[in-house]
Structure 1
Amino acid sequence: MVVVICAATLISCSDNAADEASGSDSDSGSGSSSTDSTTSPSDTSTTGDGDGDGDGDGDGDGDGDGIPERIDCGTPSYAGLRRAPYLQSVAPSSTRVAWASETGGVATLHVAESKDGPWMEFAATPRVFEVDYTGEEVDYTAYDATADGLQPGTQYCYEIHEDGDPVATGLWFETAWTDDRAVRIVALGDSGNASAEQLAVRDRMLERDFDVFLHLGDMAYGDGTFPEFKERVFDVYTELLHKTPTWPTMGNHEYKTDNGQPYLDLYYMPEVTLDPAHAERYYSFDYGEVHFISLETNDLPLITAVALDQTSDITMLDWLREDLAQNDKPWTVAFFHHPPYTSSERDPNFLVRDGLVPILEEWGVDIVLAGHDHHYERTVPLEGNGPSTKEEGGIYYFVVGNGGAGLRPADGDWWTAEVNDEQHGYLSLRIEGCTAYGEVVTLDGEILDSFELPDC
């Protein structure tokens, strides 16, 4: 069952929120646990932009323009929360924030353009998660609140209060923008085993700032349970999640528990599917000049009928065509878990290739990101199951399954691969104007791959 949570509503505004309150993929992996999110770590990511020049602007020229200076909201603090705040479904005029508490009081989200206020207050929607449902050690209450009526491309401070007292402060987010400003993307998959390698890759990610975090699936080995999500996602990426919106796609390991129900309970994605039964399994969103599409490749009935020439009841593909037909952005990035092209020792997913790729090619998708295979790979432009050029409609396919789980060999001479390698790391993309600038950063901080992809 998919749980539909209503959006929060604006309650009131005040000059100062704090003052007012006081008045066969079997590699489940193992490894050391990260710092628990109930502590209040310092926010270590203060510079960096994903282009490698360290100026924080996202344009790669080192002069510091293009990206607004970071808003000063104080030092992040969220001690005592079961699950620290994480940003969801960020849009030009709204931002959704989710978190969890073991105390279960009446919670509100407070948002302001300065840490000095004035503050807008939004009610949070609670949902109690009991031990019998989650398998965790205690009952807790999950909350989500949507701040709306916001301005595009604007930074805001935010706080969370429970029963009138602040429980999370010093936090900030930025709404999505609609102009041609650069978009800085971090992407990885197959990370979630709480290994030393996952934590090392996480630490490298925190050295830069990003606007969008795409997780390509298999974030919670081995079965996508609630305890695994806590230990291997929320306790690991805490410092990233409270300031960078996460846009996930479901991996086969998340699908193992009740067809991905914990994933659906924990993430709050746009509900845009044609069939309500598929809500949040696939969706799309815009950031600047980029249109992003997240697709579901675990639920085989959503894609297999195309390979069998049976398309009448495949609503994800119907939705995908409608979504792409309405897309007016110069860049389109699709992401899902199973790769249609790979040089891995495992075969590519031919159902994905037969079911999805023709639609992506027809509508001019530029970049496809996937995980599942535990290595890094960037293909030559591909079209019609063969090498092509971008000018002829070729798509660049990436496998970024090197986020922390055990690595697997890739064929270095494979015909589709421009670059492939078996090292842990993450993909950094900066899309600006006619070019996507990319780097793959290893857990040692080395640059495994550096490239520029033209689009006009």
Structure 2
Amino acid sequence: MMPARQPVKINKLLLPFFLFVQLFLWTEIGFSADEVHYSNRFLAEEPQIKIAENGTVHIRIRTTQPCSGGRAYLGIVPDVAELGYPAFRRRGVLSQPDAVTLIFEFDLTKLEREVFDLNRYIKRRGGHLNLRVLVFAERLYTIDRVFAYRRTVDDKYYKSTAIVEGPIIDCVTDTSAIISWEFDKPSFCNVEFSPGDSVIGCEKARRFEVSISGLIPSQTYTYSITWHDEDVTRSSRHYTFETAPPAGVDDPFRFAVLADGRGSYGAGERYVEGVNKRTMEALLNHIYNQDVSFITFPGDLVNGYISDPKDLEYEYRSWKRVVQPIAGRIPIYEGMGNHDITAHFFEGDREDDCIPRLGPEAAEVIFAKHFVNPLNGPIPRNPEDPPYSENVYSLDWGNSHFVMLNTNYFQKGSGKSVAHKRGDREGNLRQEQLDWLDDDLRNARDRGQKHLFVFTHEPAFPNGGHKHDAMWWNGNIPEVIEVRNKFWRILCNYGVLAAFFGDEHNFSLAKIDSTVNKDFSIPVWQIVTGGAGAPYYNHDTDVPWAHTVKSFYPLNHYCLVEVNSSDVLLKVYSAEGTLVESVKLSEE
């Protein structure tokens, strides 16, 4: 077994160096005007949860804007539930000392009544509780958190150690996997998994990324996290996952693709700390019942476009809370989108007049801190630029090969005020990414991988809301078109079956061939699947490749791809579970 994989961190001893470099670079760039601060954050601080010895729970909510009241509920994730969704059972008593502070109180002795005790917390003397807070402000805000309590043998209550993030399964191969999770305070713990009845011990910490090796291909495993809470051993729920078949093996499998799950209009669960929880859960639950091996999510996880890197982390934590019931069992491979950024903003348009942050505040560094993906991406040619680590990568699954690119790397706005400043235009692929892609696809073909799939956020041939940017920019910028054509020629050269994109909040299927560009002699499917919850877009029918679009659907959806030896079938399902489209990609 391998030791715990360490989270991506910047050495604290080097932090002054990074800050000096950033200050020097921005002085060199020439910005002297004050920045405009953008934040999506509603909470002024994390909910403060305290438990008195008599079992009274005190919860303080402080907001960034005046609110007129709210509701709070406590519940549990029932042990009998297949997925980890809470069932709420008690409502708190509200007091409001001022316009930006809400205080709720609960009585744990009432929650421990026999009629409510599905998880046997009376006998176990405590366990995890789920908190939901609804706050009435300029719109309805929803806040979800987890904490745990403990009752001593003499019936005194206190707040105990809880898993507040995860566990999440990632980077599943034919012989290995990575499990990550986070406690609310440092703890010693173990990962237990079977078959094999193996235990991996972990040193005291809050956040863990534990690598497991020596696994058997195409095998189902069960795992859980255990830790000591005073004189009691606590355990997480039990989760299962399945390892990949060996590379090149023709075993049939399925994978799902969806993107753009950021918050939307409608408030409540449609906007939960930067995420459209309602739509994401509906889609992921349907995906769970499709027996998929993994999920890819090429960008726009959250609303983003914010000044403070901590605010972006706040939204990423919300995203992970939303996906965890599925992500604890099925690996999700995330990519970056244009909204997944933190930046310096200046007077003008929020998306146009911004430049990327550097060093430990770079969007790519924040992304790698929160998500666990393969580490085999390219290395920036300029060492001062952000890393590609975990935002550009590739992997094999059976007879197929998968590549995640970053068309929002080092992203800056397109406004005139930042035109000559460092950073890349939205939709760009640097030559270092293109060279890496060429090598990666060549190696995959040399290994005999039968089907090649590529994923990134910005569509190469937009046709549903983003013709003004993506990899087209209304056709007005020759260098943009040159990069796009280089990219697509690589896909053609290696016979990539399909390239998946987000950004446009709809589904479209187009066959890009020599009628678009004579160099595209081998047709490649472009599949846009940005329907995971962001506000919808209509179809653009006036783009030069409109004739290649075979199908369009403007509402929430996901793509299911079935690979069976030489056959590849694409199915598209709505959020209600209706089959919207079905196309045999390999025959077409």
The structure 2 residue matched to 1:159, chosen from 224, 229, 234, is 224
What is the distance in 2 between the residues matched to 1:345 and 1:182? Answer: 35
Please tell me whether the aligned partners of residues 342 and 416 of structure 1 are also in contact (alpha carbons under 8 angstroms): no
Q: Which amino acid aligns with 2:243?
A: T
Kindly indicate which of the two structures has a greater share of residues assigned to strand: 2
- Structure 1, unaligned stretches of length 5 or more? 8-25, 46-76, 128-140
Matches within 5 A, 1:248-327: 248-256=334-342, 258-275=362-379, 277-299=387-409, 314-327=431-444
Please tell me whether the aligned partners of residues 249 and 295 of structure 1 are also in contact (alpha carbons under 8 angstroms): yes
Q: CA deviation at 1:396?
A: 0.5
Q: Structure 1 residue 349 and structure 2 residue 463: aligned?
A: no
The structure 1 residue matched to 2:539, chosen from 410, 413, 429, is 410
What is the distance in 1 between the residues matched to 2:440 and 2:363? Answer: 25
Q: Over residues 158-195 of structure 1, what are the superposed CA-to-partner deviations in whole Å (9 max), with x where a residue is unaligned?
A: 11122483431321111111221112111111012233
Q: Structure 1 residue 444 and structure 2 residue 576: aligned?
A: yes
What is the distance in 2 between the residues matched to 1:420 and 1:126? Answer: 51
Count of aligned pairs between the two proteins: 376
Q: Which amino acid aligns with 1:318?
A: D
Q: Which residue of 2 aligns with 1:229?
A: 316
Please tell me whether the aligned partners of residues 184 and 431 of structure 1 are also in contact (alpha carbons under 8 angstroms): yes
**Relative contact order higher in (CA < 8 Å, ≥ 6 apart):** 1
Q: Which residue of 2 aligns with 1:365?
A: 496
Please tell me whether the aligned partners of residues 558 and 572 of structure 2 are also in contact (alpha carbons under 8 angstroms): yes
Q: TM-score, normalised to structure 2's length? A: 0.58
Q: 1:183 to 1:382 in 2, by over 3 A?
A: farther
What is the distance in 1 between the residues matched to 2:75 and 2:257? Answer: 22
Q: What secondary structure is seen at the aligned counterpart in 2 of 1:169?
A: coil
Q: Over residues 59-85 of structure 1, what are the superposed CA-to-partner deviations in whole Å (9 max), with x where a residue is unaligned?
A: xxxxxxxxxxxxxxxxxx987310121
Q: Over residues 110-152 of structure 1, what are the superposed CA-to-partner deviations in whole Å (9 max), with x where a residue is unaligned?
A: 2212xxxx4112244776xxxxxxxxxxxxx221101111111
Please tell me whether the aligned partners of residues 458 and 503 of structure 2 are also in contact (alpha carbons under 8 angstroms): yes
Larger radius of gyration: 2
Q: 1:446 to 1:274 in 2, by over 3 A?
A: closer
Please tell me whether the aligned partners of residues 190 and 371 of structure 1 are also in contact (alpha carbons under 8 angstroms): yes
Q: Which amino acid aligns with 2:199?
A: E
Q: Over residues 283-320 of structure 1, what are the superposed CA-to-partner deviations in whole Å (9 max), with x where a residue is unaligned?
A: 10011111000011112699979x99xx9x84322221
Q: What secondary structure is seen at the aligned counterpart in 2 of 1:380?
A: strand
What is the distance in 1 between the residues matched to 2:424 and 2:465? Answer: 23
Please tell me whether the aligned partners of residues 371 and 400 of structure 1 are also in contact (alpha carbons under 8 angstroms): yes
Q: CA deviation at 1:200?
A: 3.0
Q: CA deviation at 1:454?
A: 1.4
Please tell me whether the aligned partners of residues 378 and 392 of structure 2 are also in contact (alpha carbons under 8 angstroms): no
What is the distance in 2 between the residues matched to 1:388 and 1:275? Answer: 29
Residue range with higher mean Cα deviation, 234-243 or 405-414: 405-414
Q: Structure 1 residue 434 and structure 2 residue 516: aligned?
A: no
Q: 1:97 to 1:436 in 2, by over 3 A?
A: same
What is the distance in 2 between the residues matched to 1:448 and 1:411? Answer: 19
What is the distance in 2 between the residues matched to 1:37 and 1:437? Answer: 41
What is the distance in 2 between the residues matched to 1:185 and 1:29? Answer: 33
Q: What secondary structure is seen at the aligned counterpart in 2 of 1:356?
A: helix
Q: Which residue of 2 aligns with 1:88?
A: 170
Please tell me whether the aligned partners of residues 36 and 235 of structure 1 are also in contact (alpha carbons under 8 angstroms): no
Q: 1:121 to 1:364 in 2, by over 3 A?
A: same
Q: Over residues 202-224 of structure 1, what are the superposed CA-to-partner deviations in whole Å (9 max), with x where a residue is unaligned?
A: 34334332111100110122347
Q: 1:38 to 1:180 in 2, by over 3 A?
A: farther
Please tell me whether the aligned partners of residues 29 and 405 of structure 1 are also in contact (alpha carbons under 8 angstroms): no
Q: 1:303 to 1:287 in 2, by over 3 A?
A: farther
